[in-house]
Chains A and B, each alone.
Chain A
């Protein structure tokens, strides 16, 4: 099992360019997430999905869009990149919440994005 994979690993964009980050998981998880991590800080949730065809906003959704057309994939889009979006982006996935069980989130390796 590959777990959670992210494509690409690194990217440099100019201000105003667009791009899509791809996250894929092979664990049959229902839930998927996109986080960003700025230098010296913890992770902040951008968007998440509780199932195929559903998405919801997290703590810092502005400037990003997401789609989950297939259960195993979760795409993060930047329509018009800004320098403030320079960050490391992590995708994560987990099983659906069960109050009796601690379903931890499994993280991908991250994508380092620089916007100049």
Chain B
């Protein structure tokens, strides 16, 4: 079974609107972390936001927030007030209870912001 599933290969959003990118995960660990990275067309991987399994509040970083629903094993990324520069690939990743801080990545969602 896939550990990280991103079911939206591609999405469009109108500039200035909010968009939600879906991520579901599968783990039997009690302690784990969920990350979102952005990969623009230039190719670099940019860290956006983190949610720990024991965090009671949903994580927020500027225009990014993470809608964490532990019982449903979902960690959706919400981008508010989309900008043209938000057009990129977005990857959800999970760190399970392992010794090396290793990440497992989902297949990604390509977000395209329309002017």
Contacts and interface: CB of A to CB of B under 8 A. Distances in A.
Are A and B associated in one complex? yes
A39 to B, nearest CB: 11
Given A41-B107, A42-B106, A43-B105, A97 B47 contact: no
Interface stretch (A13-21, A69-77, A79-87, A101-109): A101-109
Given A31-B101, A96-B101, A102-B50, A42 B43 contact: no
A42 B108 contact: yes
Interface residues of A, number: 28
A42 B107 contact: yes
B103 interface: yes
A41 B108 contact: yes
Contacts of A44: 105
Interface in A39-58: 40-45, 48, 50, 56, 58
A94 interface: yes
B11 interface: no
Contact of A99 (B31, B103, B105): B31
B102 to A, nearest CB: 6
A43 B91 contact: yes
Contacts of B104: 45, 59
5 contacts: A40-B108, A45-B103, A48-B102, A50-B100, A97-B101
Given A42-B91, A42-B93, A104-B50, 4 more contacts: A42-B106, A43-B93, A97-B100, A102-B33
Interface of A: 31, 33, 40-45, 48, 50, 56, 58-59, 88, 90, 92, 94, 96-97, 99, 102-107, 109-110
